A = this chain, B = another copy of it.
């Protein structure tokens, strides 16, 4: 051919492809397990985070879950409607709110955590313990790299050259 260009990379040569592929399947399976308890994956994450911290502002939750404030607002509304979360006014800031678990929400967490454990086991049970540790270390390293980069708000994520 008259014009040459670098070979087009394979779909399967992209780590992003494999990550999405595996994550989608793991999450879809987890979503099906949770569906039986009437919560979504994102709702589970909120419940579990609230179990740890007691109460949180929606804005902080949005940061922690890397979602928009609009999404968190709707998510919180659904959890309130399900009676799993309480929405309180922030006494220190009239604009703000405080989210906390209800007794019903708190009671659900152990069972949902067991579903997460089982789902993890179903997908990662094919890995040796050392492989699991290594996968977690690599994912944390990537996540940390993203967090660190994101901390430098003055510049967007850029390709390493």
- Among A54-62, A69-77, A134-142, the stretch that binds chain B is A134-142
> A113 to chain B: which residues have CB within 8 Å?
8-9
- Do B45 and A11 have beta carbons less than 8 Å apart? yes
Inter-chain contact A14/B159, CB cutoff 8 Å:
no
Does the CB pair A110–B142 fall under 8 Å?
A: no
- CB <8 Å contact, B131 and A138: yes
Tell me, yes or no, whether A88 is within 8 Å of chain B by CB: no
Number of interface residues of A (CB under 8 A): 60
Do A116 and B14 have beta carbons less than 8 Å apart?
yes
Whether A16 contacts B123 in the complex (CB less than 8 A), given A11-B45, A118-B159, comes out as: yes
Q: Which of A24-32, A78-86, A95-103 contacts B (4 or more CB under 8 A)?
A: A24-32
Q: Could you give 19 example pairs across A and B, Cβ below 8 Å?
A: A6-B110, A8-B48, A8-B109, A9-B116, A15-B136, A16-B30, A16-B119, A16-B123, A19-B22, A21-B66, A22-B142, A23-B24, A119-B159, A121-B159, A124-B142, A126-B142, A127-B138, A127-B142, A134-B134
